[in-house]
Amino acid sequence: MMELRKSLAGRIALTAVATVILLFLALPIVVILVTSFSNNAFASFPPEAWTLNWYKALFADGSKWPAALSLSALVAALSTVFSLIIGVTAATALVRSELPLRSAVFALVLGPLVIPQIVTALGLFLLFEPAAMLGSPIAIALGHTVLASPIAVLILIATLRGIDERLEDAAASMGAGRLTIARKITFPLAAPGMIAAAIFSFITSFDEFYISQFLSSVDTVTLPVQVYNSLTFEIDPSVTAVSAILIAFAILALGLVALVRWIGSGRQQSLLSVENTVGVANPGGEAV
Amino acid sequence: MVYLLVLFVYPIFSTLLLSLKDADGSFTLHWYADALTGVNRSVLFTTLRISAETAALSLVFGFVLAQAISRLKPLWAGLAMLVVVVPHFVSALVRTYGWIIMLGDKGLVNETLAWAPGAPYQLLYNELGVVIGTTSMMLPYTVLLLYGVMRGVDRRLLAAASSMGAGKVTIFRRIYLPLVAPGLASAGLLSFILSLGYYITPALMGGPNQTMIATLINQQVTKENQWNGAAAQGVILLVLTLAGLLLVKAVTSLGASRKKRSAT
């Protein structure tokens, strides 16, 4: 395309339209952050005066938000643990061993990501309702794991593929046992990927709405369901403050993932650089 | 893996069974007949219509944005991609709420357009509101997909055509478009599929005429205890999704063979 539209007017027009589209993506988020400090929390922009009242109201007596927040945190923590267990075992099996029906297993892993969440939620409801498990944090966490574990599996597959197997071979050639290799080589190299998988599992569960909505009861309402309820039934201005906190949380999580990735790539480089100084590395074989 | 079999495949299977069971447990298709007639049929059509509108809009916006980003310098391209990706990780509920604040009678959009005749405009609780909302949810997908496709286009092909005297329009139409067309098709199909099962945005930003199939499923389960009907609608939604996915797969393999052919 570079050759096609070099005219200045064309470039300016394209840049302008692209900027508008970027604003289209970013503005809803910016507006929430700004409105959460506004004295008029309802659909009025720009704000006339500033206040912290909505944040204070979150923790006032009788507020439903602390309970919803702690339930969501509990559910997300549980489902992170479940997802990591599934993720590590499934990714190891898919990458390191010759699995029969490999593509079927892979399709099973990807399934929950493409199937409408409402269908998954409905199925889980039909599973847990007869078991009288509706409203149980464990049931909600198990449900969220269906959505979070595929993401963990995908991240961990990429991580394991990125580890230079020559490092493990080298350790083995020097007499290290399988456990030692796993503990001293594979685990430290896979740790950043595992942390990233944990963060994404946590945030997937923390933000999940459909499954929570179907599996929650009156007493167990997760944060997203409470947000939805405040937007539909009861008008609660604190919802802007909650939304702003959720945005900050998502950005923080993404920042953490980026940081962990950066540290991780440094770690593998430093292990490989020893090899490079000895002069035995092949130029094409650099790990990513 | 067993985990996913128990908690993912089995529930979907039992949904399928439930949709075929009558009150006394005998086999029936009448839940499907219900789901495809009367109000339910119009909800199905609304779902298809809104999904198509969303797919078309996010495809056009996604194409323009990906095009612009692919021509930026790496630093700016990275920043622009950040603006695309970060919203994707913010809860859809929260972003929908942001739109509700922005599109209200005294919201940012109407305040900005206050000078225009007919303002304030009704931008919420109608189809326009829903499509604005869902489009912004699908846009990150189309931008990411199309950006990848555009980066993969072999510039030498364009240069070769130009050296043989082809004009800009010809190059775009005969070389560039056929190369990115499979990517466009799968991006459009993907956002269509993802919109089909969407619930949050249509329920919060639409009116009664924008009821989508997912909203209906939710109502039947939580309010009317009509599980069989909900199951039948769930299965219909699932079949539509799988059909769409098969199309995506077909289009992708078509694209791969086309690319190979043009490079030889």
pLDDT at A185: 81
In chain A, residues with a C-beta closer than 8 Å to the C-beta of B94 are 29, 32, 227, 243, 246-247
pLDDT > 90? residue A243: yes
Paired strand residues for A38:
A50
pLDDT at B84: 93
Contact criterion met (CB < 8 Å) for A112 and B8: yes
Contact criterion met (CB < 8 Å) for B158 and A4: yes
**Contact (CB, 8 A) for A233 and A245:** no
Contact criterion met (CB < 8 Å) for B199 and A210: yes
**Candidate from B84, B168, B197 with C-beta closest to A25:** B84
Per the listing, tokens 């009448």 go with B30
Range of the domain at B115: 41-263
Distance of CA A227 to CAs A116, A251, A277, Å? 21, 19, 56
- d(Cα B137, Cα A28) in Å, to the nearest integer? 11
Higher pLDDT, A198 or B253: A198
User: Chain A: nearest CA to B217, how far in angstroms?
Assistant: 8
**Does B197 map to a domain?**
yes
**Does B11 map to a domain?**
no
- Which of A15-29, A53-67, A114-128, B195-209 has the largest mean confidence? A15-29
Contact criterion met (CB < 8 Å) for B172 and A224: no
Q: What is the residue-averaged pLDDT of chain A?
A: 83
Per residue in B45-61, pLDDT (tens digit) is 999 999 999 999 999 99
Does the CB of B212 have a partner CB in chain A at under 8 Å? Answer: no
The three-state secondary structure class of B28 is coil
N-terminal to C-terminal alpha carbon distance within chain B: 42
**Does B97 map to a domain?**
yes
| Residue B107, φ and ψ in degrees, nearest 5 | -75, 175
Q: Name the pLDDT band for A42 (thresholds 50, 70, 90).
A: low
- d(Cα B186, Cα B86) in Å, to the nearest integer? 23
Mean pLDDT of A128-132: 82
**Does B54 map to a domain?**
yes
Q: What is the pTM assigned to this prediction?
A: 0.86
**Contact (CB, 8 A) for A79 and A201:** yes
pLDDT > 70? residue A150: yes
**Does B9 map to a domain?**
no
Higher pLDDT, B218 or A3: B218
Higher pLDDT, A82 or B116: A82
- d(Cα A133, Cα A155) in Å, to the nearest integer? 31
Q: Kind and range of the H or E element at A184?
A: none
Interface mutation target, options B91, B155, B190, B219, chain A, most CBs of A under 10 Å: B91
**Candidate from A1, A118, A123 with C-beta closest to B218:** A118
Per the listing, tokens 């006394």 go with B24
Give ipTM to 2 decimals. Answer: 0.86
In degrees, to the nearest 5, what angle opens at C-alpha B173 toward C-alphas B168 and B175?
90
Distance of CA B225 to CAs A84, B102, B220, Å? 35, 36, 6
- d(Cα B35, Cα B179) in Å, to the nearest integer? 40
- d(Cα B50, Cα B55) in Å, to the nearest integer? 8
**Does B25 map to a domain?**
no
pLDDT at A29: 94
Per residue in B64-74, pLDDT (tens digit) is 999 899 888 88
The total number of structural domains in chain B stands at 1
Contact criterion met (CB < 8 Å) for A35 and B101: yes
pLDDT > 90? residue A101: no
Q: Which DSSP category does A281 fall into? A: -
Cβ neighbour number for residue B196 with a 10 Å cutoff:
26
Interface mutation target, options B8, B190, B194, B216, chain A, most CBs of A under 10 Å: B8
Q: What is the CATH number of the domain that holds B81?
A: 1.10.3720.10
pLDDT at B21: 75
Contact criterion met (CB < 8 Å) for A116 and B100: no
Nearest CA in chain B to A25: B136
Amino acid at A19: T
In degrees, to the nearest 5, what angle opens at C-alpha A227 toward C-alphas A222 and A232?
125
**Does B28 map to a domain?**
no
Segment-wise mean pLDDT, segments of 10 residues, chain B, 264 residues: 72 79 73 81 92 96 92 89 92 92 84 79 90 95 92 83 82 84 91 91 88 88 83 92 90 78 66
Q: Name the pLDDT band for A21 (thresholds 50, 70, 90).
A: very high
pLDDT at A148: 93
**Does B124 map to a domain?**
yes
**Candidate from A21, A210, A239 with C-beta closest to B65:** A21
Interface mutation target, options A5, A32, A99, A119, chain B, most CBs of B under 10 Å: A119
User: Chain B: nearest CA to A210, how far in angstroms?
Assistant: 8
pLDDT at A281: 40
Tokens of A224: 């997203």
